[in-house]
Amino acid sequence: MEKIELTRNPFIKTALKSRYPQLAVFIVMLVGYIFAILAGLVGTPVGSHNFSIVFVWIAWWAILILVAVPFFGRGWCAVCPIPLPGEWLQRGAILAPPDKKPKWLNRRWPRALRNIWLQNISFLLLALFSSVLLTTPNITGIVLAAMLFAAIGLSIVFERRSFCRYLCPVGGFIGLYSQTAPLELRIKDKKVCAACEGKPCYNGSAEGYGCPWDVFPGGLTKNSYCGLCMECIRTCPFDNIAVNARPFSADLAKPSARMDEAFKAFIMLGSAMIYAGVLLGPWGTLKDAAYNVGTTAWFIYAAVFLSVIFIVMPSFFALCVTRFENIDRFKKRFATLSTALIPLGLMFWVAFSLSFVLTNASYILASLSDPLGLGWNLFGTANLAWQPMLTSILAPGQTLALVGGLIWSGRTAQKAAKEATVSPVPVIVYCFIVTLAMLWLLI
């Protein structure tokens, strides 16, 4: 399938080039985000009736993992309100660049941290506390506020969107899975970029800001670190930036060989499996251990969680790298082969999310009418009883997602194995075993 340049459509192009549509969405999202923080802090502590829990962990999560990431990659990052206040401070303007730029520290992000290890850690920190985070509104409120203030703080000290690029716990996995999305932002002609003086897409101009994600669009080969902010479309003087529709998982044909990204794949795969066991499984002791943060049981749970992700799963996967010449080549092959886990991990999360989203979606309407639990009934839906939805299609849907993910990973493994000059069979067997385990956990 050929790429389709969506920005050829004048309506799409105008909408992306103008700052106003994006700003309108930003404002709505920011209002919702801050409302979620306040709802978490002052609303009912009953999670199932609090806007912060219902809209963040059910509605937003469902949209993110079932729609935004699979179909739009970093589409969420394009409208995420977290960077807006900090970026306003950093730039001194909300719209086009001002005549006079504010004098913040504007430092470069430390070289040693220019990877996604911090995002891996921030995700794991939330993951270890997830049972409490997902059910306790004030904890959710505090975490959301902390992310907003962290983004503001980092905008003052560092250049561009350092929080989004290097720290955001969500941004890390969105970037990983955005490689599978059928949407990309790319340049049209390399020669135009090579000849371009000043590189305004990276350095900024009077038309717009230099790439907030610290990416030179001319060198983009995968979606991972392009936040789809559309700033380069506004700054490119040669109209050389396009948004394209493309086949799924196009980026995975050129596997990454980075260990931080490889471990992100393990973190996401392992977390989906552990979540399926803890949140959806029938094991009360496991749930108690995950929920009772600070107890001995929780420390054991955390140790097991981290061991599964950092030791057990990677160790078995290492057996798939059947050729060993030296440690550097081994690591490169290991990271390259781990690309096969990306589609599988995404579909694990789709299958897992289907379960709790369909189970809890009825809370959305109730919470919409009474978001703070103050006894309102704004839309007449406050007293709707909890009712699992589409239960008849849940198990088939999950099975389809997992089997589809396995097939998708198998095809990706063939390409990655070719790149790593090893056999794809061990990787496919590995994917098959973890898929069976996930099927057992979910169904």
Partner 1 sequence: MKRSELLSRILVVAGMLLAVGAPLIFWTRTPLIHARMADTGGWNPDILQAEVGKPLELHFTSDDVVHGFAVGQLDMEAVDVEPGKVTDVTLTFDKPGTYTFYCTRWCGVNHWRMRGTIEVSGLDVDSETTPTVPLYVTLGIDIDAPHEANAIPENRPSAVRGQQLAASLDISQFSSPDFYRANSPYQIFEGLNSTDLTDTEKWDVVAYIWQSNTTVDALANGRELYAQNCVACHGESGEGNGVFADDLAAAGEASMQSMNGSMDMAMQTPADFTDTSCMLGASLALLEGKILRGGMGTGMPMWGSIFTEKQIQDLIAYLYSFQFEYQR
Paired tokens of 152: 């503001």
Report which secondary-structure segment, H or E, holds 302.
Answer: helix 296-307
- Least gap, CB of 326 to partner 1 (angstroms): 54
**Under rule CB under 8 A, residue 65 binds partner 1:** no
User: Which residues share a beta bridge with 227?
Assistant: none
Please, which residue, 25 or 245, has the CB nearer to partner 1? 25
Contact with partner 1 (CB under 8 A) among 25, 63, 94, 132? 94
Please, which residue, 45 or 388, has the CB nearer to partner 1? 45
Calculate ∠ Cα 86-91-97, nearest 5°: 145
**Listed ranges 36-44, 239-247, 263-271, 397-405: which one lies at the site for partner 1 (CB under 8 A):** 36-44
C-alpha to C-alpha distance for 81 and 49, rounded to whole angstroms:
24
- Least gap, CB of 6 to partner 1 (angstroms): 26
The phi, psi pair for 98, rounded to 5°, reads -80, 165
- Least gap, CB of 55 to partner 1 (angstroms): 13
Segment 351 to 410, residues that bind partner 1, using CB under 8 A = 370, 372-375, 382-383
- Least gap, CB of 18 to partner 1 (angstroms): 11
**Listed ranges 39-47, 68-76, 113-121, 289-297: which one lies at the site for partner 1 (CB under 8 A):** 39-47
Contact with partner 1 (CB under 8 A) among 32, 281, 397, 404? 32
Contact with partner 1 (CB under 8 A) among 7, 44, 271, 360? 44
- Axis-axis angle for helices 20-42, 137-157 (nearest 10): 130
Segment 72 to 91, residues that bind partner 1, using CB under 8 A = 84-85, 88
**Under rule CB under 8 A, residue 229 binds partner 1:** no
User: Which residues share a beta bridge with 183?
Assistant: 245
Please, which residue, 38 or 192, has the CB nearer to partner 1? 38
Give residues with Cβ within 8 angstroms of 434, minimum separation 6.
Answer: 269, 273, 313, 344
- Least gap, CB of 19 to partner 1 (angstroms): 8
Q: Are 55 and 33 in contact (CB under 8 A)?
A: no
- Least gap, CB of 219 to partner 1 (angstroms): 32
C-alpha to C-alpha distance for 80 and 147, rounded to whole angstroms:
12
Please, which residue, 87 or 214, has the CB nearer to partner 1? 87
- Least gap, CB of 45 to partner 1 (angstroms): 5
3-state secondary structure of 332: helix
The phi, psi pair for 208, rounded to 5°, reads -175, -175
Contact with partner 1 (CB under 8 A) among 7, 50, 90, 412? 50
Q: How far is the CA of 190 from the CAs of 82, 208, 218, 282, in angstroms? A: 32, 21, 7, 55
Contact with partner 1 (CB under 8 A) among 98, 110, 219, 396? 98
Contact with partner 1 (CB under 8 A) among 6, 15, 25, 42? 42
- Contact characters 10-29, partner 1, x per CB under 8 A: -------------x--xxx-
C-alpha to C-alpha distance for 228 and 303, rounded to whole angstroms:
37
- Least gap, CB of 41 to partner 1 (angstroms): 8
Alpha helices in 4-161 (DSSP H): 10-17, 20-42, 51, 61-63, 69-72, 75-79, 83-91, 117-128, 130-133, 137-157
What is 124-161 written as a DSSP string?
HHHHHTHHHHTT-HHHHHHHHHHHHHHHHHHHHHBSSS
Q: Are 155 and 89 in contact (CB under 8 A)?
A: yes
**Under rule CB under 8 A, residue 59 binds partner 1:** no
3-state secondary structure of 245: strand
The phi, psi pair for 107, rounded to 5°, reads -80, 160
- Least gap, CB of 54 to partner 1 (angstroms): 10
Q: How many CB atoms lie within 10 A of CB 217?
A: 22
Judged by CB under 8 A, the number of residues near partner 1 is 35
Please, which residue, 4 or 31, has the CB nearer to partner 1? 31
Please, which residue, 51 or 109, has the CB nearer to partner 1? 51
Q: Are 49 and 366 in contact (CB under 8 A)?
A: yes
Please, which residue, 40 or 169, has the CB nearer to partner 1? 40
Residues engaged in binding partner 1 (CB under 8 A): 23, 26-28, 30-35, 38-39, 42-46, 48-50, 84-85, 88, 93-96, 98, 370, 372-375, 382-383
